[in-house]
Structure 1
Amino acid sequence: MRIDLNCDMGESFGVYTLGHDETAMPYVTSINVACGFHASDPNNIVKTIKKAKRHNLAIGAHPSFPDLVGFGRRAMAASHEEIYADVVYQIGALMGICKTEGLTLQHVKPHGALYNMAEKDSKVAAAIAKAIKDVDPNLFMICSCGSMMVQGAQNVGVKYVEEAFADRAYTQEGTLVSRREQGAVIHDPQVVAARVLTMITTGKVQTIDGFAVALKPQTICVHGDTPGAIDMIKAIRTSVVQEGIEVRPFSV
């Protein structure tokens, strides 16, 4: 049994620092690097890629809507053609920087509102998937477990893996509880670690109202910018390894 741990990184901007990238890197296996549309800038992206190379991490692009002010969390009325073009552009930027370090991309994971829209709309997901496949058919698309993203990826024929979120509560429909609701984010590292272990070993997760829904993730998203994030990531990694589960990038 094996699992990949992915984490969003490279979201600092100019002189402003966000997240605990370098502290979290030893405990994850894949990272999703902001491409400049919701966070980051060319210099910060270069720095993030260099750090990732030192830690031998698999690298993915983390494209979003062009929304620096809203951190990519605001839905935009973009056409499928615009979404396609934006995703192609952002993948290309990150690919170019990776090339300067002799690295290749493993995957693409949409960010924020773009991810949320793709979860619910297979046509939005297909626009993202087509962009990924057209840039490089060897790239994987990270999709929310059992969502319309999976259908969109399948319709286009892009490679994909399904992911679950370590510290987010789920509904009976298998979707994430809105951050606006109480209990949407779980903060206890031991509780989160136990949930992740259950997801991996049983393919199920307990919902916010006590039911069980099926999830079969190949990668688990851990957050590196929330309070206590590093302790949580360490707890997850420790519990998984102690259970004899191999932690490595999903493409290896």
Structure 2
Amino acid sequence: MSTYAIGDLQGCLEPLLRLLDQLRFDPARDRVWFTGDLVNRGPRSLETLRFVRDLGAAAVTVLGNHDLHLLAIAADHGRLKKKDTLAAILAAPDRDELLGWLAARPLLHHDPGLGFTLVHAGLPPEWDLATAQGCAAELEAVLRGPDAGAFYAHMYGNRPDRWNTGLKGWERLRYITNCFTRLRYCDRKGRLELTEKGPPGSQAKGLMPWFHVPGRASAGLRILFGHWSTLALAHVEDTGVYPLDSGCIWGGQLTALELETGRRTTLQCPETLHPRRGL
């Protein structure tokens, strides 16, 4: 049995099928973890969502910002953008089943046996594993409950940008959402800067990748994440993080990491969108 972690799909089903074939993936024996953003921007969002859903217990996926965007639109609290490829899902006969399945996905998955933690974007420097798990559970309960629609109405926005245990209500949930699904950069004090999207070295003075903040509470974890296609593919060994979004949607690669061995497998992808536009 092998466990593979694969970066953001964003509706690119054909590269996924070719990569799984290259890995000789067998859902009866192997397991696959996805870093989120199953849908949007790519050509086959509906089919990708169905395929991952149909993998059943063989697959684990965490929610990404594009997944939440889809759920917000479906709840009439978001609007389709020019480059969104979500219309087929919204018009599908199995729409409600697919959206219900997606809304039930976690924000964080931790496997103590394998020693890996899976999120879409990152963790703020103040959060250790227990805090992150607790915050994920808070948001998951809302997404799966009667207040989901009200949450989507308050989901979008960049504030608050600092963690405070006293945060409450929609502000607390928005902060949690932004950490799990949008985080790239913050400053030494943990203030999130969500408008910076370029590679390390391009950011404004005083900002750093979330995993480079000195003394971050999650430093002892091995964290798998996607979301940041402009971050180098490299395995950042000294920080214990494993970036897996290698820009499939931009004509980069789709990457799988075998968790038991550390072996990476990459597949070159056709350019679906012009690189670096609409991140």
Q: Which category of TM-score, normalised to the shorter sequence, fits these structures?
A: 0.3 to 0.5
Query: What is the TM-score when the length of structure 1 is the normalising length?
Result: 0.39
